């Protein structure tokens, strides 16, 4: 059975996706939804989680941190079942991890990146999964130019990503994004 695994942003946890999952009605599609917590405590508080540390992160060292976090991410994802039956939906840092998982060859059914980006160019290859970017034009945390650059890197690497933009929701998941997320999940099945 296919599943959707939601990867949260830095400082949050898997439960933050509960309202979105309820609005997507994934049960109508026969899909299971999972919301794991990032494996590491958030550097900024005692409550949140993260997929990799952002303490001292720069454009120069972000990719190395992501690559070091991928084996643990794979372990987490595989605990829910075969990757071939898995769609990843990431937000912010969760999107970074989802996009890099696809770039590393994790055999997922698809990736939906919400307010996310790649940390650098990726290697060219065949057989990319479907990848969708959903990003707000006014995102103050991950500027839309970073998503656009990531889109171009994926195209150069042989992927055929899709992209959708929203307005006036900033670095969050707005109601106008929900039908797009649902539609893209359906296309990836």
pLDDT digits (tens, 9 = 90+) for 102-151: 999 999 999 999 999 999 999 999 999 999 999 999 999 999 999 999 99
Residue 140 sits in a domain of what CATH number?
Answer: 3.40.50.1820
pLDDT tens digits, residue range 142-184? 999 999 999 999 999 999 999 999 999 999 999 999 999 999 9
Average pLDDT over residues 91-100: 99
The tokens describing 123, both together, are: 């290697």
Domain that holds residue 141: 3-188
Question: DSSP secondary structure string, 62-114?
Answer: HHHHHHHHHHHHHHHHHTTS-GGGEEEEEETHHHHHHHHHHHTT---SEEEEE
Res 89: pLDDT: 99
Q: How many domains does the chain have?
A: 1
pLDDT band at residue 75 under the 50/70/90 scheme: very high
Q: How far, rounded to the nearest angstrom, does the alpha carbon of residue 64 sit from its chain's CA centroid?
A: 18
What percent of the chain is predicted at pLDDT more than 90?
97
Q: What's the Cα-to-Cα distance from 170 to each of 27, 115, 137, rounded to whole Å?
A: 29, 9, 7
Rounded Cα–Cα distance for residues 117 and 126 (Å): 21
pTM of the model: 0.97
What percent of the chain is predicted at pLDDT more than 70?
100
Reference 49, options 57, 40, 58; nearest CA is: 40
Reference 171, options 12, 4, 6; nearest CA is: 12
Q: CA 28, 29, 30 angle in degrees (round to 5)?
A: 95
The tokens describing 124, both together, are: 């060219």
Res 46: pLDDT: 79
Calculate the average pLDDT of the chain.
97
Res 2: pLDDT: 95
Q: What share of the chain is helix, strand, coil (3-state, %, to 5)?
A: 40, 20, 45
């Amino acid at each position: 059975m296919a599943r959707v695994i939601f990867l949260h942003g830095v400082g949050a946890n898997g439960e933050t996706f509960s309202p979105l999952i309820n609005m997507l009605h994934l049960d109508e599609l026969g899909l299971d939804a999972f919301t794991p917590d990032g494996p590491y405590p958030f550097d900024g508080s005692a409550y949140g989680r993260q997929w990799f540390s952002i303490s001292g992160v720069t454009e120069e060292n972000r990719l190395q941190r992501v690559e070091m976090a991928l084996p643990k991410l794979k372990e987490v994802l595989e605990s829910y079942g075969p990757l071939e039956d898995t769609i990843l939906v990431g937000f912010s840092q969760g999107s970074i991890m989802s996009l890099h998982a696809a770039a590393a060859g994790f055999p997922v059914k698809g990736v939906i990146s919400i307010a996310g980006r790649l940390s650098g160019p990726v290697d060219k290859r065949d057989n990319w999964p479907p990848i969708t970017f959903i990003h707000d034009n006014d995102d103050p945390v991950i500027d839309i130019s970073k998503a656009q650059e990531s889109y171009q890197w994926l195209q150069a690497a042989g992927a055929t990503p899709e992209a959708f933009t929203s307005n006036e929701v900033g670095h969050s998941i707005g109601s106008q994004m929900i039908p797009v997320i649902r539609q893209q999940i359906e296309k990836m099945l």
